[in-house]
Chain A
């Protein structure tokens, strides 16, 4: 192989890249957080809304799960730009990712609601628990167990999706990789390091989420 590696040219940029990793996490957190909020509303809507609202909500979910993230981001960034609203790349990416996140999370929440056993609720009623108590001691723990693993899994997935922000100029990890590349042209070395950073990021997040799930929430399940 004729190629000679020159990692030494890339090492100085490591702190810069690590800063990008932090932006990645911020982006993921915003997209996921917003997505969780919307997703919850959509899920509740699908479960208990009047008939005429369910169709559009189901369509919302179907539309945003069956379309590529990248195109949504491009549409929002360039489309709104045309209308005169110059959305900062970061927020365009957040909003683009958020739309799909909310659709996936709505499905997770809905499955969670469905999993709450009728029998459990009846049993709670017959032993005299009030609705509030049932909610706190029966429904919520059960919901948490069912919903936390896929939720944690989806967060890790959204970390990986943030790399699309680089395409509209967000300076998260991949975006910064492009910048370093344009300066040093050591493309392979840069992307190897960035790849390692993404793997490390997902491993750390998986561990943290697993720990949180297990020791704070008492949920024992594999995440990602």
Chain B
């Protein structure tokens, strides 16, 4: 049975619909890549899962039980098991990297602060930032900030990690260090739902790829199918544009 089960969800920003009947499944230990053109609703799916976007229809179930977003206890329980990392402005600017990682476990999970600090330092070391733990976000590069953001998400011991275009705002040379970290997590068996434009990475790391367009799921399948041999026409057009990302002159 899937760990995360999304069934026919609808959502809108005001009068504009962003999700129309979206369904997808993520099994435990699986890495699912969510791809599609801008505005297709990929980020909205992640925001809806964590309760940042209100659903007007459909259901989200975690580990078999449906989530009631209107119920604070249910929402709390969900957020206890699911963590999200955004594209930017993740880290709390007014505290050090270490403080960022320890804040929620101490305040929300009410754990012992020495234990939390030890774990935090281990996590920061795992993402390669042990030397920067007392630095403030403004003193870190974009790639370093995103890696701290992931350490911070991991400190909450989530069973599902949502990554919302975490490399899209980075300078090109900083992207790989973040992708390496994500690869590490995948190898460790973390269940992840990743929204990304990094197709080569998705092809390597994802077990399943979901292609979305205009708020709907258009195609689902293994990466080789969806990325290399898509069935639907829209996915084909998208793939063609993506392939041309390695710029080549147009043949006359």
Is chain B in direct contact with chain A in the complex (CB below 8 A)?
no
Taking Cβ atoms with an 8 Å cutoff, the residues of B that contact A are none
